[in-house]
Structure formats: C-alpha cells, structure tokens
Amino acid sequence: MNSHPVDPVLVDVARAARRVVVFSGAGMSAESGVPTFRDAQTGLWAQFDPTELATPEAWDRDSGLVWAWYQWRTGLVRRVQPHAGHRAVADWASRTQLSVVTQNVDDLHERAGSDVVAHLHGSLFSPRCSRCGAAHPTDGGVDTEPTGPLAPPSCESCGGAVRPGVVWFGEALPEDAWTRAVAAVETCDLMVVVGTSAVVHPAAELPILAARTGATVVEINPEATDLSRHISHTWRTTAATGLPALVDAIGGDR
C-alpha cells in the first residue's frame, strides 16, 4: 500500500483509461542515479557542454571524446537499477493496454519489465557503424570515468568508426520509432508525461498531439514545464513517488 495522496480525479481518469501511453524523459531516470543533461557534470566532463557533445559536429571534430563520453554514460546506466516508478509502469502494463514511449537512451524501463514501444532518441546499447550503419555489439561501456578520449571500435563489416546508437541534436528521429509512437499517442485516452522538460522537438509535440486527439494528458514533474499550461492535470511530484502511488490507487483493493 502506498500512502502518498493522489488526486481522486486523476485516479478516476486513470481507472477509466483503456489505452495508456507513458511518455518519459530524463527525469524518469534521475532517481535511479542517471544525471540529466542539465545536471552538473563531473570530472573530465565538467569542462564540456553535454548538448554540444551530443552532436554530429562534435563527432566529426573529436570522435574519441564523444565515444568516451557515451562509454561513460553506458557504464553508468549499466550499474544503476530501475526504481519503483519504472516498476509501477510495468505493473500497470500487466493490467491494461499501456505503451511506453521514451526519449531516454537507457534501458531502465525494459529492466523493470516494460516493453518499450519507441526509443525516440535511440539507445546507448545499440552502437552502429557511422559509415555503413551495421549494428555493432555493445560492450556495456566503461567502469571508471575516462580521463581522455577513447578510440571508437571499427565496424566488423566495413572498418568504419562505430558510433553511439543515439539520436544527436540536429539528427532525424528513427522513422519506425516515430511512427509507432504517433500511432500509440493518437489512439490513447490517457497520456502520462513523466520527467521531460518538453522542449526538444519533435518529441515534445507528442503530448500536444495526444491532447488534440482527445486524450487526457497528465504531467508528473517536480517543476513546471512548457507543457504545463497546455494540459489539464499537472502533478508536482517525482517519478519514483508519483507513479507507484498512482498505480496503487488505481488498483484499489488489490
């Protein structure tokens, strides 16, 4: 039983929902210990702006530096665990039709037991060749913070440099993931938006699309965002507190 109070209107909406989308961003992973881009960076990374490392230009300029940063993030994600909010989403999905659409490049939803319909910004665990696009096996990143650049591995097919399987600023989203996300969003009657600042497009347009197609959109975020004023329900709480409380409240006397 979770004693965190939940707005009864929200509980009614969630109980009545037949098709749910959980749309998550970096704040979803924060309580697992994965820092968001906007959090202070440490060590070698303190001197770089992460939004500038996550670009094709940075890769062209210094692929070793960019590879080292992603190897560090991959290792960090591998060492942390999903939290109660991730588990609550998986639990909810076992009882209703629920699609997880995420901007996150970690695998915490999956490790909590959810199928992810769309990783809009790719994955840390699917590196690929920057030249021919062939998939390259992930090595799980590094255990200690790199003190300098790390040479990216070479593609087994063509010898090109292997790049992180994530979407960088200025790059297009994977078309299939976007199509699946839009299909889920257009047919949902409830969208729960968790831990995103809703400023990075086109992902930020999905909650607006949901609202326009008649879904109730609920935001779970300790802070107000650009989205907050467009939707009817905002809940100023965190992912690891709000989601388990909501899913417990829906379950009633389970």
Residues 6+ apart with CB under 8 A from 254: none
Q: Does 121 qualify as catalytic in the annotation?
A: yes
- Pick between residue 121 and residue 233 the one whose CB is nearest to ligand APR: 121
Rounded to the nearest whole angstrom, what is the least distance from the CB of residue 157 to ligand APR in the complex?
A: 27
Residue with nearest beta carbon to ligand APR? 27
- Cα–Cα–Cα angle for 131, 136, 142, nearest 5°? 115
- Pick between residue 25 and residue 155 the one whose CB is nearest to ligand APR: 25
Tell me how far apart the alpha carbons of residues 31 and 28 are, in angstroms, rounded to a whole number: 7
Rounded to the nearest whole angstrom, what is the least distance from the CB of residue 89 to ligand APR in the complex?
A: 13
Helix (H, G, I), strand (E, B) or coil at 61: helix
- Pick between residue 72 and residue 155 the one whose CB is nearest to ligand APR: 72
* Active-site entry in 83, 86, 109, 121: 121
Rounded to the nearest whole angstrom, what is the least distance from the CB of residue 242 to ligand APR in the complex?
A: 8
Tell me how far apart the alpha carbons of residues 232 and 45 are, in angstroms, rounded to a whole number: 39
Tell me how far apart the alpha carbons of residues 84 and 90 are, in angstroms, rounded to a whole number: 10
Interface ranges with ligand APR (CB under 6 A): 25-27, 30-31, 36-38, 103, 121, 194-197, 200, 220-223, 225, 238-239
Region at 107 (left for phi over 0; alpha for psi -120 to 50; beta for the rest): alpha
DSSP state of 47: G
- Pick between residue 6 and residue 155 the one whose CB is nearest to ligand APR: 6
Contact indicator for 119, 102 with CB cutoff of 8 Å: yes
Helix (H, G, I), strand (E, B) or coil at 101: strand
Rounded to the nearest whole angstrom, what is the least distance from the CB of residue 239 to ligand APR in the complex?
A: 4
The β-bridge partners of 194 are 24, 220
Catalytic residue list: 121
